[in-house]
Amino acid sequence: MYALAVSDHIMIAHSFTGEIFGPAQQLHGATYGVEVEFRRVELDDNGLVCDIGLALKALHEVLGALNFKNLDEVAELRGKNTTTEFMAGEIFRRMKTRIVAGALGAGTAETLDSMRIVLRESPVAWASFEGALR
């Protein structure tokens, strides 16, 4: 399996509901390093997994809708515990929607097999979500 990865970062604010979160029940900030890895069995005719420039652009656009936001106030996230794990899945869903819409170039959506999103909360803690694209 071939893979290509790109990365970016976001800064957000949020709070959690539930005793398990202790002081994180209060509004607090986080900076996430975000990595997206695209995978496919065979390279395309150009020897690529996908266009790295388009991959970077798509990731930047997806993260732009979340960057510098209080996630408690983002309509589609309101009422959810936007944990690192949850956000990895949310970014996966948003990236997949863009890929299917052609953000990585014509025909790429039909040839990518899977994608993995990694959110690095700190140098010692991270979460990920991985799933099929077809």
pLDDT tens sequence across 27-78:
999 999 999 999 999 999 999 999 999 999 999 999 999 999 999 999 999 9
Residue 134 has pLDDT above 90, yes or no: no
Within the chain, what is the greatest distance between any pair of CA atoms?
53
Find out whether 84 and 121 touch, Cβ atoms under 8 Å: yes
For the segment 83-113, what is each residue's pLDDT rounded down to a tens digit?
A: 999 999 999 999 999 999 999 998 899 999 9
- 68 and 120 housed in the same domain: no
User: What's the structural domain count of the chain?
Assistant: 2
Asked whether residue 96 is assigned to any structural domain, the reply reads yes
Give phi and psi for 80, each to the nearest 5: -105, 150
Whether residue 24 is contained in a domain is answered as yes
Q: Helix 84-100 vs helix 52-64: angle between axes, to the nearest 10 degrees?
A: 120
Residue 119 lies in domain: 91-124
- Are residues 119 and 68 both part of a single domain? no
CA 14 to chain centre: 17
Residue 76 lies in a domain: yes
pLDDT band at 124 (very low <50, low <70, confident <90, very high): very high
Residue at 45 is within a domain: no
Task: Classify 133 as helix, strand or coil.
Answer: coil
Contact status, residue 13 vs residue 28, Cβ threshold 8 Å? yes
In-domain check, residue 11:
yes
pTM beyond 0.75: the answer is: yes
Degrees to nearest 5, angle at CA 59 with 54 and 60: 95
Q: State which H helix or E strand residue 127 sits in.
A: strand 125-132
Residue at 129 is within a domain: no
Q: Is there a domain that residue 55 lies in?
A: no
Same-domain status, 118 and 95: yes
Whether residue 18 is contained in a domain is answered as yes
